[in-house]
């Protein structure tokens, strides 16, 4: 019997969310191991010493340590909804770079010795306005249905919105707010947010999706 690829994940990590969404939509079976970040399993650290999630360990022992690489791997096996047909590199780079930096300082100002994160919150609005403008022409960045770009960006916009939900809801960004609501309410997102206990060596394997 062929050994399944092993996906080390943490339910609330936005990087892990987008990796799980791609694996789920691809339908490619993996063994899911839920990680507690303050108690990382030695098996994960042996495969990926940098110690961040997600990590996908392939059957030949190769470790994919970046969420975008895991998304590409899963969709290269099977891409039933054509996600790879829309991969906006510039938008993804802007999200993973300047927007993520602003998000971290907005959400966790104490980690950066900041009194509050207001300045960084406001700095992120340019990126959100760009997304809103793009979404006025179609419900998703990928067009009529979600695609790679949507899923790569979505968990971080969700995290930003949840930091102060009332403030975000009052922004004049209706297209972006509708996009976020649709993705949060999707069956796919619900499916990848199932709660699993912390994985320990010797546990029965959890197959995903």
Name the band, by pLDDT with cuts 50, 70 and 90, for residue 160.
very high
Please identify which residue in the block is written with the tokens 């971080």.
Answer: 156
pLDDT at residue 29 tops 70: yes
CATH code for the part of the protein at 6-82+190-208: 3.40.30.10
Q: Which fold has domain 84-187?
A: Glutathione S-transferase Yfyf (Class Pi); Chain A, domain 2 (1.20.1050)
* Mean pLDDT on 19-46: 97
Query: What is the C-alpha separation between 51 and 65, in angstroms, rounded?
Result: 9
Are domains 6-82+190-208 and 84-187 of this chain identical in fold? no
Ordered by start, the domain boundaries in the chain are 6-82+190-208, 84-187
Region of poorest pLDDT, from 1-10, 26-35, 95-104, 194-203 = 1-10
Among 90, 180, 84, 87, which residue's Cα sits nearest to residue 127? 90
**pTM of the predicted model, to two decimals?**
0.96
Query: Cα-flanking dihedrals φ and ψ of residue 207, to 5°?
Result: -85, 135
CA distances from 25 to 39, 41, 50, 189 (A): 29, 27, 27, 10
Name the band, by pLDDT with cuts 50, 70 and 90, for residue 2.
low
């Amino acid at each position: 019997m062929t050994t399944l690829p092993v996906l080390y994940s943490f339910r609330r990590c936005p990087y892990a969310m987008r990796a799980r969404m791609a694996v789920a939509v691809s339908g490619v079976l993996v063994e899911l191991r839920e990680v507690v970040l303050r108690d990382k399993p030695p098996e994960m650290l042996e495969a990926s010493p940098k110690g961040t999630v997600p990590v996908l360990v392939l059957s030949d022992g190769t470790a994919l340590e970046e969420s975008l690489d895991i998304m590409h791997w899963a969709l290269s096996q099977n891409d039933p909804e054509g996600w790879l047909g829309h991969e906006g590199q510039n938008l993804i780079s802007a999200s993973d770079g300047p927007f993520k930096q602003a998000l971290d300082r907005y959400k966790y100002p104490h980690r950066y010795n900041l009194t509050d994160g207001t300045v960084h919150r406001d700095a992120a609005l340019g990126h959100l306005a760009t997304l809103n403008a793009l979404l006025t022409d179609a419900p998703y960045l990928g067009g009529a249905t979600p695609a790679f770009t949507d899923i790569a960006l979505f968990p971080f916009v969700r995290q930003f919105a949840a930091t102060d939900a009332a403030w975000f809801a009052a922004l004049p960004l209706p297209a972006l707010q509708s996009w976020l609501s649709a993705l949060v309410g999707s069956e796919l997102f619900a499916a990848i947010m199932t709660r699993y206990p912390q994985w320990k060596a010797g546990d029965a394997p959890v197959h995903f999706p």
